[in-house]
Structure 1
């Protein structure tokens, strides 16, 4: 690996970490970069998880220090996502690469429709376990399956689904999102490691930048216009992903 390639990994990692924590879609930058640097698609998919885990640790730590925490609810949401992620990672190691794009386009179209629907009336009551219906748990399993399979744009699905089903502020949705992504990415990363699909040098350089991007995104999310940032950045990411996949 040359110095220029190492710097590119850190720089793109920083941009991706900011986008991933505040919205989603950073893997749309990092996966192509890893493949451009010579990694096969499945190895790039596995190596990218190193960055996802460490940027998520940074984001969760930042939110917790700021007092934005609800471990009980987060764990309840994460459990079905973890099981889905294990199945998704296993499927990713079995299927042809061409299937990735078809799944990604379908998921982004669904998410875009959900984000562009009229804003739901927010439920300002304390989020209790009683508000987590079977539909919410099923949605977490399906999103976890998708995240374990491909990861790109998974945050869009978390934002769209939790925003609609729980009717909580988008900035609050983001706090749950990064915690769930951290927990379900760990077993997915382990599965890629067991199949020798992780290149640690690339992954850690990518993570170095993404951790800084995540730190910055936490501060934007907790700002007075955090929810606005989340909504419009998410819509922009959806458009970029769909256009990229349909036209190129």
Structure 2
């Protein structure tokens, strides 16, 4: 690994960690960067998960230290998510390079559209507990797990769309449960990529250092409304450039 590659990975990881804590969509930057650096799509997909695991360990620890403890509920929600993630990761190892690039482009375009949708305001929400773990919630978690196991890009947006917009679960609780559930289902998903030889540990660990630094910075910053607007604009501009690059490389 060259110094330039290490610096690029640190920068991409830092921006990704910052975006994931502030909103979502960090993997829309890191996954293409890993592919541009020469990794095949499957190895890039597996390598990207090293930073995600470490980032979510940090986030889960911070939530617990702040008094937010949803371990029992998170574990129950994780059961269908883990099953979905195992299937999704296995399918991801079978997808060819060209097909994966098209899927990535479509996912990035769709996620960008979802990022532009205004968040609902002044609405009644449900604070999820174990009495509400019925089939709609279980199916939603299985879908999220499959998607996360397969590609993971912007899975935070999927949590918001399915749990907050559709099931009307309290957004604060969505974020708390998100980091725990992603951490739990990401472990077996990463294991599948490791077992099939699709993880570049050098790139993954450097990316993880940057990701954790970006997440730490975001957790200690307070941004005003205009700052959030500019973050969204800059992110969408970078995503547009990445989509163009992916199309040019095909």
TM-score bin (small chain): 0.7 to 0.9
With over 3 angstroms needed to count, the CA separation of the structure-2 counterparts of 1:174 and 1:235, relative to structure 1, is: farther
Do the aligned residues in 2 keep the contact of 1:162 with 1:173 (CA within 8 Å)? yes
Q: 1:198-217 to 2 correspondence within 5 Å?
A: 198-217=199-218
TM-score (ref. length: structure 1): 0.83
Do the aligned residues in 2 keep the contact of 1:144 with 1:184 (CA within 8 Å)? yes
Q: What residue ranges of structure 2 are gaps of 5+ in the alignment? A: none
Do the aligned residues in 1 keep the contact of 2:40 with 2:97 (CA within 8 Å)? no
Q: Secondary structure at the match of 1:43?
A: helix
For 2:136 and 2:230, locate their aligned partners in 1 and report how far apart those are by CA, in whole Å.
Answer: 26
Q: What residue ranges of structure 1 are gaps of 5+ in the alignment? A: none
**1:172 aligned partner:** 173
1:152 counterpart = 2:145: no
Most deviating of 178-187 and 64-73: 64-73
For 2:38 and 2:10, locate their aligned partners in 1 and report how far apart those are by CA, in whole Å.
Answer: 17
The Cα shift of 1:173 comes to: 1.5
The Cα shift of 1:44 comes to: 0.9
The Cα shift of 1:166 comes to: 4.1
Q: Secondary structure at the match of 1:167?
A: coil
The Cα shift of 1:137 comes to: 1.0
**2:28 aligned partner:** 28
With over 3 angstroms needed to count, the CA separation of the structure-2 counterparts of 1:236 and 1:23, relative to structure 1, is: farther
For 1:130 and 1:178, locate their aligned partners in 2 and report how far apart those are by CA, in whole Å.
Answer: 21
Deviating 4+ runs (over 6 angstroms): 223-226, 231-236
Do the aligned residues in 2 keep the contact of 1:78 with 1:180 (CA within 8 Å)? yes
Cα deviation code 1:60-99 (max 9, x no counterpart): 1111111122112211221111111100110011122333
**2:16 aligned partner:** 16
Do the aligned residues in 2 keep the contact of 1:156 with 1:234 (CA within 8 Å)? no
1:112 counterpart = 2:114: yes
With over 3 angstroms needed to count, the CA separation of the structure-2 counterparts of 1:235 and 1:57, relative to structure 1, is: farther
1:76 counterpart = 2:76: yes
For 1:63 and 1:145, locate their aligned partners in 2 and report how far apart those are by CA, in whole Å.
Answer: 25
**2:197 aligned partner:** 196
For 1:30 and 1:63, locate their aligned partners in 2 and report how far apart those are by CA, in whole Å.
Answer: 24
Cα deviation code 1:8-53 (max 9, x no counterpart): 2112111111212332211121122212222111111111110110
For 2:234 and 2:189, locate their aligned partners in 1 and report how far apart those are by CA, in whole Å.
Answer: 27
Q: Aligned Cα RMSD in Å?
A: 3.2
TM-score (ref. length: structure 2): 0.82
